[in-house]
Amino acid sequence: MPASPRPMREIAADALDEAWLSSSEPLLLRGLVRQWPLVAAARAGQASAYLRRFYRDATVTAMLGAPAIDGRFFYNEDLSGFNFAPLRVRLDQVLDELDKHAASDPAPAIYVGSTTVDTCLPGLRALNDIDLGGRDALASIWIGNRTRIAAHYDVPDNIACVAAGRRRFTVFPPGQLDNLYVGPLDFTPAGQAISLVDFRRPDLARHPRFARALEHAQVAELGPGDAIFIPSMWWHHVEALEPFNVLVNYWWRGVPDYVDTPTSALLLAMMTIRGLPPEQRAAWQAQFRHYVFEADEAGVAHIAASARGILAPLDDDATRVLRAQLLKKLNR
């Protein structure tokens, strides 16, 4: 029998502590946003009505699935398409549908994901927000009914705040990549590669290594007012547990704006290195280890500081030059 995920470290959070934002492991921040008016409205069963106060004719992308998908937004049987349909629709119409199906069982799966708060609900953050200490964070809102979002990772750090309903997060450290049976990189339901394992009904005959992943998993269930910190690159499966759920999350990267996403380097390496003979791949592995993963002062001490070029610490100007050189090579 596979192991059960262990409970996530839980902290009673009266206010956001700066130290939590540099944690190397996820944290359940119980009660962090309990003072939000939206949370109070949710506890009174008025979350939908509260959101409508800020609606200004915004159009969003909604994901709609038949009751048969059981809330799991995923691929079709042969991974050639998806089991849901995206639709551009007014946000108030989404809220209408959620209200309409609140008592339906089964209900169609309805989900609005990763939508910029200030665009679709201007003014909401003036009363419902957290102070991230000057970090330039992107605030997004997620609205839906009982839905399941497959395990995936995000490059930025993330604080996700449950404003209405309940959500269960199951998280895995980045090193569990091999055991999560990740699907295609370039054809995904919502932009990020996802685990192909059905967490509600895992098929260990088909995905036997998932049992190992569960040995390293952590789980947290959040109610209105609770938040979770998820470090960069941690895999997380998210299940919304109520007929009406609202989450607000904040993404930020702890690097300067001129630093591009490492995903670009991964894709370029797949294009240029993955197909090389084994001995050449090993040679390039040594190059990456020396210049990237184990780079330090000792590795460049023999070069005069004035002559180190891109081996010196990069800044905005140097990165701009390097990007231009890379684009020139790619476009030759």
Residue range 236-261: average pLDDT? Answer: 94
Return the SS3 of 140: strand
State residue 3's pLDDT score: 83
The two tokens of residue 215 are 């040995």
Residue 171 forms beta bridges with which residues?
218, 236
pLDDT in tens, 265-322: 999 999 999 999 999 999 999 999 999 999 999 999 999 999 998 899 989 988 998 8
Place of tokens 């997060």: 169
Strands 245-252 and 138-144, bridge-based pairing? antiparallel
pLDDT in tens, 25-38: 999 999 999 999 99
State residue 56's pLDDT score: 92
CA distance 11 to 20: 10
CA distance 186 to 179: 20
CA distance 132 to 22: 12
Return the SS3 of 162: strand
Cβ 216 vs Cβ 136: under 8 Å = no
State residue 1's pLDDT score: 67
State residue 256's pLDDT score: 85
Cβ 142 vs Cβ 114: under 8 Å = yes
The candidate with the shortest Cα–Cα distance to 229, out of 247, 253, 250, is 250
Domains and CATH numbers, the chain: 6-252 (2.60.120.10), 262-330 (no CATH)
State residue 108's pLDDT score: 97
pLDDT over threshold 90, residue 254: no
The candidate with the shortest Cα–Cα distance to 247, out of 330, 147, 328, 177, is 147
pLDDT in tens, 58-113: 999 999 999 999 999 999 999 999 999 999 999 999 999 999 999 999 999 999 99
CA distance 48 to 110: 14
